[in-house]
Amino acid sequence: MKTRELQQLWWDWLGTSERLLRSLYEQTAALTLRDVTRVERIQPELDQMMSKLREIDNQAVALAHKLAGELGTEPSLRGLVSVLEKAEAQNLQGLGNRVTVASRNVQDVLKKNRKLIENEMTYINGSMTLIARAAVQAKGPFSMPQPNSILVDQAA
């Protein structure tokens, strides 16, 4: 089997992506519940798994280029599948499809979590604006004495 190493890398990638997805779903729950300590606890694990996925991906790309050179084809899944024996080509194609689907799932959850974080930051920014506005009002429970504008003082 010519693609044994590539298939092994892809299986490793799939296993890591599955663990990453579980952690991403945990992050989604923590973001939804606004549990900051839980989000902070999960983040190093997410960073580690994302780094491992990138590493495996780089190894798989390098190996695919090497295989394509040896087999005299373009360095793509379609190119590799076209020159392999039927059974090995089907295995490689099926595994490649699984990796593609898993990567889309990871990307979708990452986008969703990023959007949740952006929404939370917008909420915090709005809350801080309201607090600041209440603090500078002349009357009210949070009022502070407001000095005259610096520009007005300089103009006088």
Distance CA 8, CA 108 (A): 25
- Give the number of domains in the chain: 1
Question: Could you tell me the mean pLDDT of each successive run of 10 residues in the chain, 156 residues long?
Answer: 90 96 96 92 96 96 91 87 90 94 96 93 79 67 56 46
- Looking at residue 153, what is its pLDDT? 46
- Looking at residue 91, what is its pLDDT? 93
Q: Which helix (DSSP H) or strand (DSSP E) does residue 155 occupy?
A: helix 150-155
Binning the chain into helix, strand and coil, the percentages to the nearest 5 are 85, 0, 15
Please compute, for residue 148, the number of CA atoms within 13 A of its CA located in the half-sphere on the CB side: 6
Single-letter residue type at 87? A
The residue segments making up the domain with residue 105 are 4-118
**Does 156 reside within a domain?**
no
- Looking at residue 155, what is its pLDDT? 45
**Does 18 reside within a domain?**
yes
- Looking at residue 44, what is its pLDDT? 96
- Looking at residue 152, what is its pLDDT? 47
**Does 123 reside within a domain?**
no
Q: Identify the CATH number of the domain in which residue 75 sits.
A: 1.20.58.300
Distance CA 142, CA 109 (A): 41
- Looking at residue 11, what is its pLDDT? 96
Distances (CA, A) of 87 to 7, 68, 91: 13, 18, 6
3-state secondary structure of 143: coil
